[in-house]
């Protein structure tokens, strides 16, 4: 039986706030590019509106790609069953995992595989009840598999 855990509303709020910050950053960049183009046009006595459009296009592309990364990354979720741990970033059988390490000082908890690779588990986005349940299950399954 597979059980899925989904992140809280806090993740959605974070994504919306980041998108708003990117939008405000783009607005500020367009204002700065306008001032740069105006100053250069006055000093060089040429109409350099192309500079403004170029800067706006570059910043716009970067902002658009940033928003795409945020939206396509997906909100954190964890699926666990008796044999497998699956997150948005990895899928591993418990038999492949050597140990579980709790997060300390704001860091995320992680698991270590038998070949020494570290896999972070983004538990900070889940409710306290879900975090405790997930941690207990992972610890028990790793002990049982080894």
Residue 73's pLDDT is what? 73
Residue 26's pLDDT is what? 92
Residue 61's pLDDT is what? 93
Average pLDDT, the chain: 86
Domain residue spans of the chain: 8-73, 77-145
3-state helix, strand, coil in the chain (%, to 5): 60, 20, 25
Confidence of residue 17 (pLDDT cuts 50, 70, 90): confident
Instruction: Indicate if the pLDDT at residue 89 is higher than 90.
Output: no
Phi and psi, residue 109, nearest 5°: -70, 160
Confidence of residue 57 (pLDDT cuts 50, 70, 90): very high
CATH topology classification for 77-145: PH-domain like (2.30.29)
Q: Where are the beta strands (DSSP E) in the chain?
A: 3-6, 77-80, 84-86, 91-93, 97-101, 110-113, 118-120
């Amino acid at each position: 039986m597979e059980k899925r855990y989904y992140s809280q509303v806090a993740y959605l709020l974070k994504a919306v706030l980041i998108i708003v910050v990117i939008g405000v950053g783009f607005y500020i960049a367009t204002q700065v590019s306008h001032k740069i183009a105006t100053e250069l046009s006055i000093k060089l006595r040429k109409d350099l509106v192309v500079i403004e459009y170029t800067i706006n296009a570059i910043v716009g592309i970067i902002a658009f790609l940033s928003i795409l990364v945020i939206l396509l990354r997906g909100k954190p979720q964890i699926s666990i069953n008796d044999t497998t741990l699956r997150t948005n970033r990895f899928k591993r059988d418990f038999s492949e995992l050597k140990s579980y390490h709790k997060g300390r000082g704001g860091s995320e908890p992680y698991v270590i595989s038998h070949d020494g690779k570290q896999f972070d588990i983004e538990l900070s986005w889940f409710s306290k009840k879900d975090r405790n349940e997930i941690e207990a299950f992972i610890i028990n399954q790793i002990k049982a598999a080894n």
